[in-house]
A = this chain, B = another copy of it.
Amino acid sequence: MSISTRFSVGIHILSLLEINKEGVNTSDFIAKSVNTNPALIRKITGMLKNAGLVNVRPGIAGATLAKELSNITLLDVYHAVNVVSDKELFGIHENPNPACTVGRNIQDTIEPIFSVAELALEKALGVVTIEDVVKGILEKDKTK
On A, residues with C-beta under 8 Å from B are 1-5, 7-9, 11-12, 15-16, 19-20, 32-36, 74, 83-85, 88-97, 100-106, 108-110, 113, 116-118, 120-121, 123-125, 128, 132-133, 136-138, 140-141, 144
The DSSP consensus for interface residues of chain A is: helix
A49 to B124, CA, bound (A): 33
Interchain CB contact under 8 A, A109 and B137 = yes
Q: Closest CB-CB distance, A37 to chain B, in whole Å?
A: 12
Contacts of A133 in B (CB 8 A): 109-110, 113
Q: Whole-angstrom distance between the alpha carbons of A14 and B87 in the complex? A: 24
CB-defined contacts of A113 to chain B, threshold 8 Å: 74, 128, 132-133, 136
- What chain B residues lie within 8 Å of A95 (beta carbons)? 35
In the complex, which residues of chain B have a beta carbon less than 8 angstroms from the beta carbon of A4? 1, 91
B3 touches A35 (CB 8 A): no
A26 CA to B85 CA, complexed, in Å: 35
B89 touches A2 (CB 8 A): yes
Q: Which of B33, B91, B106, B116 touches A103 (beta carbons < 8 Å)? A: B33
- By a CB distance below 8 angstroms, the chain B residues around A125 are 117
Contact status B35-A110, CB under 8 Å: no
